[in-house]
């Protein structure tokens, strides 16, 4: 199933010492690790990591990690390659086939709209992003950082009617399979994570209790120097500031504190964060508020040569990783910690000459239209009540307008049921997926790239697994980022088959790790 489916800082100097001395591990080479640090550098492609490791200067942290790591240049994230299925895959071992998560903004044929009281016909958009915050203009989303359920407004959630009771569906209740956080916690482990929205409550898993310390400063909140309603992602510098809050959370956790630093806590068995800096550097065309003038985002060519803004964002991430690793060493934790650097998603296109923008409005004219989401591909759901009678007409409309919509090929029920589940039966599988031509972005704006699609640029992401006991190697096997979850459980001495998605999809651990 799964086969289908920067300047050398003081912290980097410390890292040189720590990794070069790292061969003196305190345990035998086959002993599981005590801690795993997972980092998603959102947007970081496989070619980005390869270019970094091969470059003559800069990026001291990733280069030094690479000297004690297995690097997987042919690693692929989920299809579709949205942040939600990409991150869900890393922590469950599952694709949308088992997890039931296609996008952060998708559709469910059995749920009801927010505030509907479960009245009327079922079938509603399920948007789990900044839109569900009490107040997305605030960094704490209107609640308490470290307590995501205080940040999420239940009145903004889709609703489920079950046994005559209408109740909101929280993100963690939307996930169909358990997460590695739940497995690790069930075995007495301490769990932590930091991400960009309170909606990452989804990583808690169906129990809602997988992550003890979930820290989610809202990336789409206002920032000092920006206009009201202008999010951190409008500025390279503001994005780094938001990421830095999560870096500080990880450093606090290494110190034996909670993410906010307020209370003592065990050092987590599993912890980590996502970075938005690179993703924004790839998408934002030029300097925003609080940025110096003259910055240019994206890539200069098809070889992945970064323009100055993207380069600065990537250098920031390298420096931040250096501080984290140096902190692990200073606390005597480096030898017992496995470090994994990957990405929820890539970004397309890399080659700026292939960029083509298209207005996605024509998708709304599909016969029987229910909902669609379009970034650099489009998923279309028909209204459930009239789906059967409109299915043929919808397919004909999308096929007829393929050229105008930038369609490479259209996945219909026959194709979708072989990879995901039958949309005639499953509540979430789209009726159609419009796989766009390479370079197409559905936007009327200026962004340089997007993710969510099926292209190589979208799906081929960085993957590096590092530890002081690991001999450096490059494994050219084609691997999936869903293999991260069972690999983490194995590293901690736990059974990867405790993950439901691993059992359903037969997800293997990553190869080449000794």
pLDDT score, position 32: 76
Same domain? 241 vs 331: yes
Give me the pLDDT at residue 166, please.
Answer: 99
pTM of the model: 0.93
Same domain for 194 and 311: yes
Name the domain boundary from 395, 416, 442.
442
Residues 345 and 241 occupy one common structural domain: yes
3-state secondary structure 260-311: CCCCECCCCCEEEEEECHHHHHHHCCECCCCCCCCCECCECCCCCCECHHHH
Tell me what pLDDT residue 20 has. Answer: 32
Residue-range definition of the domain harbouring residue 228: 10-99+169-351+460-505
| Cβ neighbours for 242, distance < 8 A, ≥ 6 positions apart | 139, 196, 217, 219, 223, 232, 276
Same domain flag for 331 and 368: no
Instruction: Please report whether residue 52 resides in a domain.
Output: yes
State CA 221 to chain mean position distance: 19
Are residues 279 and 412 located together in one domain of the fold?
A: no
Provide the pLDDT for residue 14. 36
CA–CA distance, 486 with 494 (Å, rounded to integer) = 9
The verdict on whether omega for the bond into residue 80 sits within 30 degrees of 0, i.e. cis, is: yes
**In CATH, what number is assigned to the domain containing residue 331?**
3.40.720.10
Task: Write the burial class of residue 137 (CB in 10 Å: 0-12 exposed, 13-18 middle, 19+ buried).
Answer: middle
Residues 184 and 243 placed together within one structural domain of the fold: yes
Q: How far apart are CA 175 and CA 492, in angstroms?
A: 24
Mark whether 274 and 386 lie in a shared domain.
no
pLDDT tens for each residue of the chain, 514 residues long: 333 332 223 333 333 333 333 332 223 334 579 999 999 999 999 999 999 999 999 999 999 999 999 999 999 999 999 999 999 999 999 999 999 999 999 999 999 999 999 999 999 999 999 999 999 999 999 999 999 999 999 999 999 999 999 999 999 999 999 999 999 999 999 999 999 999 999 999 999 999 999 999 999 999 999 999 999 999 999 999 999 999 999 999 999 999 999 999 999 999 999 999 999 999 999 999 999 999 999 999 999 999 999 999 999 999 999 999 999 999 999 999 999 999 999 999 999 999 999 999 999 999 999 999 999 999 999 999 999 999 999 999 999 999 999 999 999 999 999 999 999 999 999 999 999 999 999 999 999 999 999 999 999 999 999 999 999 999 999 999 999 999 999 999 999 999 999 999 999 999 999 6
């Amino acid at each position: 199933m799964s086969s289908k489916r920067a300047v050398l800082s003081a912290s980097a100097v410390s890292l040189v010492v720590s990794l070069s001395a790292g061969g003196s591990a305190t345990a035998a080479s086959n002993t599981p690790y005590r801690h795993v640090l997972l980092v998603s550098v959102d947007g970081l492609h496989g070619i980005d990591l390869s270019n970094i490791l091969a470059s003559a200067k800069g990026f001291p942290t990733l280069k030094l990690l690479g000297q004690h790591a297995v690097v997987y240049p042919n690693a692929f994230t989920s299809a579709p390659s949205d942040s939600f299925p990409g991150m869900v895959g890393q922590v469950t071992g599952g694709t949308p086939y088992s997890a039931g998560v296609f996008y952060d903004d998708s559709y469910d044929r059995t749920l009801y709209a927010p505030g509907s009281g479960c009245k009327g016909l079922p079938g509603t958009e399920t948007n789990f992003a900044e839109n569900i915050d009490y107040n997305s203009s605030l960094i704490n989303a209107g609640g308490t950082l470290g307590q995501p359920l205080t940040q999420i407004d239940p009145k903004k959630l889709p609703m489920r009617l079950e046994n005559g009771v209408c109740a909101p569906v929280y993100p963690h209740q939307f996930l169909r399979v358990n997460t590695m956080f739940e497995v690790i916690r069930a075995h007495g482990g301490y769990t932590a994570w930091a991400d960009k929205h309170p909606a990452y409550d989804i990583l808690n898993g169906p129990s809602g209790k997988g992550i003890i310390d979930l820290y989610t400063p809202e990336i789409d909140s206002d920032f000092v120097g920006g206009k009201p309603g202008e999010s951190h992602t409008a500025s390279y510098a503001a994005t780094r500031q938001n990421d830095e809050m999560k870096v500080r959370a990880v450093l606090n956790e290494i110190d034996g504190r909670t993410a906010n630093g307020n209370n003592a806590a065990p050092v987590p068995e599993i912890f980590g964060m996502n970075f938005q800096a690179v993703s924004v550097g790839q998408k934002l065309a030029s300097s925003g508020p609080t940025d110096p003038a003259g910055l240019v985002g994206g890539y200069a060519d098809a070889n992945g040569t970064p323009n100055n803004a993207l380069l600065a964002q990537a250098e920031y991430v390298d420096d931040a990783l250096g501080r984290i690793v140096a902190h692990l060493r200073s606390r005597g934790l480096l030898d017992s910690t496995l470090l994994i650097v990957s990405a929820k998603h890539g970004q397309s296109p890399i080659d700026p000459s292939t960029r083509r923008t298209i207005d996605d409005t024509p998708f709304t004219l599909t016969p029987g239209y229910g909902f669609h989401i379009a970034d650099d591909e489009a998923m279309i759901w028909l209204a459930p009540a009239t789906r059967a009678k409109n299915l043929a007409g919808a397919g004909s409309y999308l096929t007829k307008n393929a050229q105008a919509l930038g369609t490479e090929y259209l996945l219909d029920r026959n194709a979708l049921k072989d990879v995901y589940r039958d949309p005639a039966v499953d509540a979430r599988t789209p009726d159609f997926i419009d796989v766009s031509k390479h370079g197409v972005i559905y936007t009327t704006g200026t962004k340089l790239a997007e993710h969510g699609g099926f292209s190589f640029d979208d799906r081929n992401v960085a993957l590096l697994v590092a530890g002081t006991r690991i001999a450096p190697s490059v494994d050219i096997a084609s691997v999936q980022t869903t293999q991260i979850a069972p690999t983490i459980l194995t590293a901690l001495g736990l059974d990867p088959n405790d993950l439901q998605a691993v059992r359903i999809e037969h997800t293997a651990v990553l190869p080449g790790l000794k």
